[in-house]
Amino acid sequence: MDMDDLAERVVAGERRALAQAITLVESGRADHRESAARLLAALPQDSQALRIGLSGTPGVGKSTFIESFGMMLTGQGKRVAVLAVDPSSSRSGGSILGDKTRMDLLSRDPNAFIRPSPSQTHLGGVARRTREAVRLCEAAGYDVVLIETVGVGQSETVVAEMSDVFLLLLAPAGGDELQGVKRGIMEMADVIVVNKADGDLKAAASRTCADYAGALRLLRKREQDPAGFPKAMMVSALQEQGLDETWEALLELVNWRRENGYWDQTRATQARYWFLEDVKQRLLAQLETTQARKALRDLSDQVAEGTVDPAVAAQTFVEKLGH
């Protein structure tokens, strides 16, 4: 496959080309990794979309929220890409990848692109190559890229390293829910959205929103936030209420960060972070060669037999790997 031609078709906005390109960057094969590097190098560097990270507890209504939110944005003439990450089975390695079927209306919208990806047991709640998929969506001319993560927990904070704003979606619940969310992800969130604020749950949603608003005031002020942020809000994705207010809050935050230099600063920090991550991944890939596996097996046998100290064996292996 000609990478320059594929890059041109991605930039031209061809959906099939974008899907092919994402499949290529997600591949772990060495030859595909080389092709993916050439493809990414051929893309324009100045295309920027608004990257929104989205996380939430299972059953909170992430798919319903994304569909309603995405439909609202496409209704305003914006092009929206959704990168939804499904957890992979540690036993079989498989994933259901059901997000596209749960977003029926949005998946048929010509201004939307939905791509479910397996997490492949990668920590951080995102697939290992999600950041590169984001770059491809930006190059394809999408205005907003929504990155949905596997679930809530301290490991999911990796999504904050590839998004401009981070939304934490929560369901109406009692006080125990506040303890159930890790402080780490609370500190990462820019906007906490309490979903399902309708019907019998509206009063509970109001109480939960007030609880989180109080909790956010106790957190240390971050320099990249204007007054009033991070904030807690209520929405009903089912009844499409509160979506406009959520979008306005995100735009207010993003515009303030752009004007005060935090947007560029954050993007630069993220680029440095992912460069170091890629270096680590490439070093780990060297352990998968036949020669490295044999050396590891031989040395681990010696360690198990007690003839070599583990620290000495590790030093020996690293020296062999460097030659």
- As a whole number of angstroms, the distance between CA 197 and CA 182 comes to 22
The three-state DSSP-derived secondary structure of the chain is CCHHHHHHHHHCCCHHHHHHHHHHHHCCCHHHHHHHHHHHHHCCCCCCCEEEEEEECCCCCHHHHHHHHHHHHHHCCCCEEEEEEECCCCCCCCCCCCHHHHCHHHHCCCCEEEEEEECCCCCCCCCCCHHHHHHHHHHCCCCEEEEECCCCCHHHHHHHHCCCEEEEEECCCCCHHHHHCCHHHHHHCCEEEECCCCHHHHHHHHHHHHHHHHHHHHCCCCCCCCCCCCEEEECECCCCECHHHHHHHHHHHHHHHHHCCHHHHHHHHHHHHHHHHHHHHHHHHHHHCHHHHHHHHHHHHHHHHCCCCHHHHHHHHHHHHHC
In this structure, the dihedral spanned by the alpha carbons of residues 217, 218, 220 and 223, taken in order and rounded to 10 degrees, is: 0
- As a whole number of angstroms, the distance between CA 179 and CA 29 comes to 42
Question: What local confidence, expressed as pLDDT, does residue 88 receive?
Answer: 44
Q: Which phi and psi angles does 280 have, rounded to 5°?
A: -60, -45
Cα 13 from chain centre: 22
pTM score, whole prediction: 0.84
CB burial class (10 A; 0-12, 13-18, 19+) of residue 185? buried
The contacts of residue 253 (CB under 8 Å, 6+ apart) are: 165, 190, 191, 225, 226, 229
β-pairing verdict for 112-118 and 231-234: unpaired
- As a whole number of angstroms, the distance between CA 66 and CA 49 comes to 17
Question: What local confidence, expressed as pLDDT, does residue 313 receive?
Answer: 92
- As a whole number of angstroms, the distance between CA 103 and CA 116 comes to 11
Question: What local confidence, expressed as pLDDT, does residue 184 receive?
Answer: 66
Question: What local confidence, expressed as pLDDT, does residue 297 receive?
Answer: 92
Q: Which residues pair with 56 in a beta bridge?
A: 169
Which of 81, 85, 106, 108 is closest to 96 using CA atoms? 85
pLDDT tens per residue across all 323 residues of the chain? 789 999 999 999 999 999 999 999 888 787 888 899 999 999 988 888 999 999 887 778 888 999 999 999 999 999 999 998 765 443 434 444 445 566 888 989 999 999 987 654 444 445 567 888 999 999 999 999 999 886 655 445 677 788 999 998 888 875 455 554 556 677 788 999 999 888 888 998 998 888 888 888 887 888 999 988 999 999 999 898 999 999 999 999 999 999 999 999 999 998 898 888 888 878 887 888 888 899 999 999 999 999 999 999 999 998 888 76
- As a whole number of angstroms, the distance between CA 222 and CA 179 comes to 22
Residues found in the chain: 323
